[in-house]
Structure 1
Amino acid sequence: MSSPTTAPPSRSTGVVWALVITSVAGFMASLDNLVVTTALPSIRKSLGGALSDLEWTVNAYTLTFAVLLMFGAALGDRFGRRRLFLVGLTIFTGASAAAAMSSGIGALIAARAVQGVGGAIMMPLTLTLLTAAVPAAKRGMAFGIWGAVNGLAVACGPLIGGSLTQHISWHWIFWLNVPIGLLLLPLARLRLNESKAPNRRLDVLGTALISLGLFGIVFALVSADSHGWTSGRVLGGLLGGAVLAAAFVRHGFTAAHPMLPMRMFANRGFAAINVGSMLMYVGMFGSIFLLSQFLQTVLGYDPTQAGLRMLPWTGMPMLISPFTGLLAGRIGTRQVVAIGLALQAVGLGWFATIASPDVSYTTQLPALIISGVGMSLFFAPATTLLMGSVRPAEQGIASGTNNAMREVGGALGVAVLGTIFSAHGGYTSGSAFVDGLTPALWVGAAILVAGTAAVLSYPRRALQSDDAGEKDAAPADLQPTH
């Protein structure tokens, strides 16, 4: 794709446009992970379908999104990041319109799956395009804003979905994406510079192995709640996915040009931040999934009221994340990420301690605020650690890998904490719900403690992309092509 004939924007203007475009696109892709959850009763009333069909309106997106993230990043590295970003954005926008116009539950599930394909191509490239546009000295602030927007999208999905459903229609959950996507397409074409990874070849075998392996694992995880962990579907998916993932790991050691060189995991920093990120999403996704239901099922709030009452947690990243770069400069990026994970663990433990069928909102508030501050301290500094742990030419696949691990962590969190909830409680009464919620939150807190330990193993001195000579310029492989 040739570059536009208009003169390229100035560096500072280009940074602003890149930040706006990539943050808004990332917001759309992240939002659709959980935006449907509070609309499921309305969708069922409108389109019909069994409970398992409704679950798949959520899982179809999660499945294709998680499976194809690494593939999307690899395509961008090979054929051009802006070009593939535009392709992914087009697919996502078109599938959103198709979902909004669905006349049956099957059509909605299919549209959600295609949405996930577009999101998987688009999402990892938002980070590499942003890295290309922002000078190294300003990336901490840029990643802070990008992380705040994406974190807010994940956490506020139930609020936005519930508000649109309650006050307009569930169709507007999907229509919302269409005008935004149509606006972003020409802006991205005109305002983003093209970049590629040098000498990047498409690894067909590696792509097939990891895509099919992740499909098996994520399919099993999203099926566990409805079919049970010992069912043939779940065990077969986990076993088959694990075998293919192991083959992918071996391929990464032996192939001449693998999609994901396994030597990257020999880098302690890259391994530590990926494990920490996955564990963070296990604890966060599973907890938000259960707590949003607690507020509605037990305490009697409607979807909008429940979402508003979770804002001290879910909305906190928008307030704090842009300033985490300044804090990281004072005490260290690794320490900020570790503190963020530890605070989330404290918040969940606090909530597990005070949970009851008649707990007041003022009693919940400290736990919500602590968890919100912790989440705010995670997103942007974790991105800085990730991008600083690899070479510039590897940033695209590093972003795809990290996003894939986060999505698998989210699916795992809902499945594991949901299973713990079901084993100890249920929906028959408020007391039964709390009986299941309490041990699930304690497990979520323990998982976040493990994530804290993983991040603390990140080496004090890791490969950085802002070494001398790069302070005022993008890395060589990310220089714009015109």
Structure 2
Amino acid sequence: MASASPSRQDAQRPGRYLRYRWWGLLAVSLGVAMIIMDATIVSVAVPSIVADLGISSTQIQWVQEIYTLLFAALLLTWGRIADRVGRRRVMLIGVVLFVAASVLCAMSESGGMLILGRALQGLGGSMILPTTLALLNANFQGRERGIAFAVWGSTIGGMAAIGPLLGGWLTENASWRWAFGINVPVGLLIVAGLLLFVAESSEPVTGAAQRLDLGGAALSILGFGALVFGLIEGRTYGWWEATEAAPFQMGPLSPVPLAFLLAAVSLVGFVLLQRARTAAGKGVILDLSLFRIPSFANGNVTALIVSFGEFGLILSLPLWFQNVLGFSAFEAGLALLPLAVGSFLASGGVAALARRFSPIVVVRMGLGLEILSIAALALLIRPDSTAWLTSPILLVYGMGVGLATAQLTSVILAEVPLASSGQGSATQSTARQTGSALGIAVLGTAFFTTLRTGTEDQVAGALTGAPQLSVAVDSVNATSGGSIAALAADPQTAFIADAAREAMTDGAALAGWIAAAALLFGFLTSLRIKPAAQPAAAQTPDGAAETPDGVAETPGGASQ
């Protein structure tokens, strides 16, 4: 038995893991919560960080973006490594690294130190996310797997909304440093939960397949890193011609198209290398044969499109709440709380829905709720709107996220072999990250362009006789609307503030319509996905047979 894989070794101790598998789900979900919450908390804490450390706008930009860049670039590589060396082991290392990096961020006395800490957080986060899904895929079966994925997905949607609330409270009542320090106790709980309640799993490999595909890893990191860099920085550095903010340029050319070219060359090379190594029987970072599974291939396309629509809304709404409605950071977090409530409510209803509908039908229900709620928000919001208008809409939207996000994951991984669950999980995570980066790029550009042009157009006549006020107009775009409150307080510039509020509301509405259109397209692509055929009997983590209705039976026939 010395050569048994970790999953086989743990299967010999069924009482320890099977009995407490729902506590293991809590530990895995906390891991997801930590990385999602951290990303959203930091966005709220930015003004306090700037005031305390006195760092430049370029540095604060990289504080936010280095995390996303490394996180997205490394997902595929860590997913494959986790399949080989153990998914729980890689997640444990990722959690420890993430917590240590959080301590470094909390103790930072300079912008450079904070950027380094955020880079290490991105590295740790890229180890955590794909392994959470792979562990759920390995430790839950049948209907229980659908429930586990529902909790996982609702955690993502809920934490995206709770993060700004918690970040606002910590920033206003303690310090921005606690936005990072809070990860220490959470990380300790995750480590304890993983060790006590989550069974290890890995893919046993032999022969030439044992060698790690270093070339594939390098190409995937370079390709996805360059792609996400271009999507994130296009608005700042220029999509084609370089802006003044660009760190370098080749003639008038921005670094962004060069990044896209590098991404295209690297990813094509990655695919060709994977095909060649597969034909030679060697190990690969991504088994391209997984894309022959219709639910996996079509599901990843749908996940990318859905993430495009979902994450763009999270970008514009906090700014709109604070700069148009005048909410504080904490109040803006409270206004987003219905989204989290709806997401968690949906996770509680998934079990009942799963008994009547297949996962892909539940995905379509969720997407339908998202489309209707975003369209309603885009149609109804005004500069004088209140949280009484947005709260019920965000509640319904959160329910849609809770239904669609998790069950789409279940659909994507339903027919992926267990041995490849790390690859499958990392692939769908990469698709989601690429989609969210694309959504932030497109919807962010639409939002901020409307803010700038709308404000300029509305005050153009008034500025003819007072050109000195053009500086005030420029400040609206430079501060992403942050100067609106100060402009409103001065009678001479109050009309500029009113124009900016109107323009920002128009920008949020436009972003909402684009997001709704993307989600509608995602709904249409989901129609290509057929319900996966459920096996007559699957194996539970203890080796027991599980009937199609999700009731586990031991070899002797006793129900668990």
Give the TM-score of the pair, scaled to structure 2: 0.80
C-alpha displacement of 1:369: 2.6
C-alpha displacement of 1:414: 1.3
Moved more, 422-431 or 73-82: 422-431
Structure 2 CA distance for aligned equivalents of residues 393 and 373 of structure 1: 32
Structure 2 CA distance for aligned equivalents of residues 132 and 363 of structure 1: 42
For 1:78, the aligned partner's letter is: R
C-alpha displacement of 1:471: 5.0
For 2:213, the aligned partner's letter is: D
DSSP-derived class of the 1:330 partner: coil
Matches within 5 A, 1:261-410: 261-410=287-436
CA deviation profile, 1:65-112 (whole Å, cap 9, x unmatched): 111111111111111112212111111110011011010111111100
Structure 1 CA distance for aligned equivalents of residues 167 and 195 of structure 2: 30
Structure 2 CA distance for aligned equivalents of residues 436 and 149 of structure 1: 28
Matches within 5 A, 1:114-263: 114-199=120-205, 201=210, 202-230=212-240, 231=242, 232-256=254-278, 257-263=283-289
Moved more, 196-205 or 183-192: 183-192
Structure 2 CA distance for aligned equivalents of residues 126 and 331 of structure 1: 25
CA deviation profile, 1:180-225 (whole Å, cap 9, x unmatched): 2123324423433222112164221211111110110111112122
- 2:438 aligned with 1:438: no
CA deviation profile, 1:149-174 (whole Å, cap 9, x unmatched): 23212232222211211111110110
Moved more, 134-143 or 115-124: 134-143
- 2:44 aligned with 1:41: no
Moved more, 134-143 or 23-32: 134-143
Change (3 A) 1:355 1:52: farther
Change (3 A) 1:154 1:389: farther
DSSP-derived class of the 1:21 partner: helix
Contact 1:88 1:118 in 2 (8 A): yes
Moved more, 144-153 or 109-118: 144-153
Q: Which residue of 2 aligns with 1:468?
A: 536
Contact 1:134 1:474 in 2 (8 A): no
Identity of aligned residues (%): 35
Please identify runs of 4+ aligned residues in structure 1 that moved more than 6 A.
Answer: 1-4
Structure 2 CA distance for aligned equivalents of residues 421 and 146 of structure 1: 30
Structure 2 CA distance for aligned equivalents of residues 50 and 366 of structure 1: 39
Change (3 A) 1:368 1:188: closer
CA deviation profile, 1:113-154 (whole Å, cap 9, x unmatched): 100101111221112222322243421222222222232122
Matches within 5 A, 1:79-98: 79-98=85-104
For 1:85, the aligned partner's letter is: M
DSSP-derived class of the 1:399 partner: helix
Structure 1 CA distance for aligned equivalents of residues 125 and 98 of structure 2: 6
Structure 2 CA distance for aligned equivalents of residues 475 and 333 of structure 1: 25
Change (3 A) 1:273 1:226: same
DSSP-derived class of the 2:531 partner: coil
Contact 1:63 1:116 in 2 (8 A): yes
Matches within 5 A, 1:30-109: 30-109=36-115
Contact 1:392 1:475 in 2 (8 A): no
For 2:351, the aligned partner's letter is: G
For 1:454, the aligned partner's letter is: T
Unpaired segments ≥5 residues, structure 1: 477-482
CA deviation profile, 1:274-330 (whole Å, cap 9, x unmatched): 111122221111111101110011000111111111222233111221321321331
Contact 1:299 1:358 in 2 (8 A): yes
C-alpha displacement of 1:8: 6.4
Change (3 A) 1:352 1:19: same
CA deviation profile, 1:410-432 (whole Å, cap 9, x unmatched): 22211111111222223362012
Structure 2 CA distance for aligned equivalents of residues 446 and 308 of structure 1: 27
Contact 1:132 1:474 in 2 (8 A): no
Q: How many residues align?
A: 472
For 1:324, the aligned partner's letter is: V
Unpaired segments ≥5 residues, structure 2: 243-253, 453-480, 482-496, 545-560
For 2:233, the aligned partner's letter is: S
Given the alignment, which residue of 16, 20, 32 partners 2:22?
Answer: 16
Moved more, 438-447 or 248-257: 248-257
Structure 1 CA distance for aligned equivalents of residues 192 and 99 of structure 2: 13
CA deviation profile, 1:227-270 (whole Å, cap 9, x unmatched): 12114221111111121112212223332232212222232211
Structure 2 CA distance for aligned equivalents of residues 371 and 15 of structure 1: 30
C-alpha displacement of 1:358: 0.7
For 2:426, the aligned partner's letter is: G
Give the TM-score of the pair, scaled to structure 1: 0.92
Q: Which residue of 1 aligns with 2:247?
A: none
C-alpha displacement of 1:7: 6.6
